[in-house]
Amino acid sequence: MTIFSVAFLLFLVMDPFGNVPVFLSVLRPVDPGRRRWVIARELLIALVFLLAFLFGGQYLLEAIGISESSLNVAGGVILFLIALRMVFPTPGGVFAEDAEEAEGEPILVPLAVPLIAGPSAMASILFIMSNNPERWLEWLAALLIAWAASGAVLLLAPNLSKLLGRRGIIATERLMGMVLTAIASKMVLSGVAEFFGL
C-alpha cells in the first residue's frame, strides 16, 4: 500500500461528503459565525483520537492478544457495514441517531467521534499500522492528507450543500460506499487467507 492509497482509503472511511448533511443538521442551532470554528475544533479533536490509535493501537492489540488476521476480518466487516449504510443511506446519514441526540453546540460527540474518527477509521488505522509498523511516517502522512481533505470538505459544507444539492450528496456518498465495499471485501479475504495460511 502507498501513502496515497492509504490516504484515499481513510478519506473514504471518514466519509466527509456523507457527513455534510449531518454536520449541517447538528450545527443548525449554532450561531452561523461560529460554525466553521466549531467544525475546525471538532476536526482537531478527531485528529487527536486518530493519532492516538495510530501510535497506541498496536500496543492495545498486543495487550489483548488480537492477531493480524482477526484484525483484518474485523476491520473488513466494520468497513462493509459502514459501506452498506453509505450505499443504502438512512435519513440523516450514516450516524443519524447521533445527530438527533445532539443539542446546542456540539463538542466531541457526534461530530469528532464517531462522524470523523469513527470505529471504521480507527479499525483501518490499526490494520494499516499493524501490518507495516516500520512505515509509521508514511501512515502518519496518509492520515494527515485524509484528515486535511475531509476537513476541507466539511469546512465547505454549507457551500457544497448548495452546489451539489441533496441528490448530489447522496449520489457521491453511494459512489464512495461502493468503492469502500470492494476494499472491505479485500480486507476480509486477506484476513481469512492469512488465518488459513493460503
Predicted pLDDT at 40: 95
- At 13-66, the pLDDT tens digits run 898 988 888 788 788 888 888 999 999 999 999 999 999 999 998 888 788 887
The total of other beta-carbon atoms located within 10 Å of residue 92's CB is 15
Predicted pLDDT at 137: 97
Cell of 75: 476491520
The total of other beta-carbon atoms located within 10 Å of residue 20's CB is 24
Better-scored residue on pLDDT, 147 or 158: 147
Half-sphere exposure of 198 (CA within 13 A, CB side): 8
Grade residue 91 by pLDDT with cuts at 50, 70 and 90. Answer: low
Confidence (pTM): 0.77
Grade residue 5 by pLDDT with cuts at 50, 70 and 90. Answer: very high
As a whole number of Å, the CA-based R_g of the chain is 17
Contacts 24+ apart (CB under 8 A), 152-156: 153/16, 153/17, 153/20, 154/16, 154/19, 154/20, 154/23, 154/39, 154/43, 154/116, 155/36, 155/39, 155/40, 155/43
Query: Are 71 and 126 within 8 A, CB to CB?
Result: yes
Predicted pLDDT at 92: 52
Mean pLDDT, range 144-166, rounded to an integer: 90
Q: How many domains does the chain have?
A: 1
Domain residues for the domain of 85 are: 3-195
Distance from CA of residue 20 to its chain's centroid? 13
Share of the chain above pLDDT 90, in %: 30
- At 11-23, the pLDDT tens digits run 998 989 888 887 8
The total of other beta-carbon atoms located within 10 Å of residue 130's CB is 18
**Residue 180 to residue 9: CA distance in whole angstroms:** 8
